[in-house]
Amino acid sequence: MRLCVGTSKGIVILDADRVGAPLMVLADPSSIWCMAQDCRDPNLIYAGASAYMLMGGSREATALSRSVDGGRTWTGITPRASYEEDIWAIATPPDRPDEVLIGTPHARLFKSLDRGRTFDECLGFLDLPGRERWSFPAPPHLPHVRSISFDRSNPSTMYVGVEEGGVIRSRDRAASFELLNRGIDPDVHCVAVDPRDSRLLYAATGGGFYRSENAGASWRRASIGVSRPYTVPVAVHPRIDGVVYTAAAGPPPTWSTSHNGADAMLFRSLDHGRTFHAIADEAGPMRGMVMRIVQSPANSDELFAVTSDGTVIRSRDCGESFVAIASKLPPAYDLVTLP
């Protein structure tokens, strides 16, 4: 299994079964914040850059890039309409090859049907009531699309997480949208749909982990077994009714200034997110924050994750335990698996 890892200094390609030096390191694109693969062609990869979160990287002219050979070479495809903006989220639907959506600051959403050659803005997203009040704590206080996810049982339905704006749903492939903010912290970082029950939604926010049993009509914050407030990635494992997520002691500005770094922990649930327990780690809380968790397409029990201090970790037991398979990389923010 090969991994294509997006870092603040470019792309790193690793062999997950060989601990040691990377197979390939690329400095173009020079920084990566988010990534996504085409549903039919895993070698077709999209990568986006965000200056605010790169922590050591640099904003480049090409905020959006595309690779058609598994990350070995890249082409800039930044849409003209968003050329001055970063890319905070990328997603591809599970049923439509060549289609890709991207999210940017100013809480904008763009969609391409031709592998990113052309993009159209999702204008319905601009008409949501109350969006003029969406904001972000750090200057210039622009809200941004942080998460785009699909209901795999009905891919016409998608969920968008806005930091800070809340959860938004589209039932018609991004033609129209509705707010789903009842009972949830609006600082949304990730939204995930349970693969076995579309009514079950999970959301990671700056104010904790939330769960909905009614497709987002209302939300409830998880409290049992949770000891960290700032949550980012979520992974759902349907076979064991499992949910894995990561939480830090505070928001990103504290990760580099705190004596304990992010002071992050992984949490696991075996009851659809009702209760959680901390995943044991002999080293204790992590200095780096886990930014992304992905499931291996070859083995559903296998998970991979990357951290903000440049570590790649792996679980072979549905998230019960993790071990490091690479370290001392630049800060890593996303990854995809390669055939």
Enumerate domains of the chain plus CATH numbers: 2-338 (2.130.10.10)
What distance in Å separates the CA atoms of residue 214 and residue 218, rounded to the nearest whole number? 7
Q: Is the peptide bond before 164 cis (omega within 30 degrees of 0)?
A: yes
The pLDDT score that the predictor gives to residue 14 is 95
* pLDDT averaged per 10 residues in sequence order, the chain, 339 residues: 94 90 88 96 95 49 90 93 85 97 95 97 95 88 95 96 97 97 97 95 96 97 92 89 92 90 94 90 80 92 95 93 93 95
Using alpha carbons only, what angle is made at residue 147 by residues 145 and 152, rounded to the nearest 5 degrees?
135
The pLDDT score that the predictor gives to residue 133 is 93
What backbone torsions phi and psi does residue 240 show, to the nearest 5 degrees? -110, 15
The pLDDT score that the predictor gives to residue 310 is 95
Given a contact cutoff of 8 angstroms between Cβ atoms, the answer to whether 291 and 273 are in contact is: no
Cα-based distances in Å from 52 to 59, 79, 272, 310, 329: 9, 19, 33, 17, 19
The pLDDT score that the predictor gives to residue 137 is 84
Closest CA to 305 of 264, 269, 282, 334: 334
Tell me whether strands 24-26 and 10-15 are parallel, antiparallel or unpaired: antiparallel
What backbone torsions phi and psi does residue 33 show, to the nearest 5 degrees? -115, -40
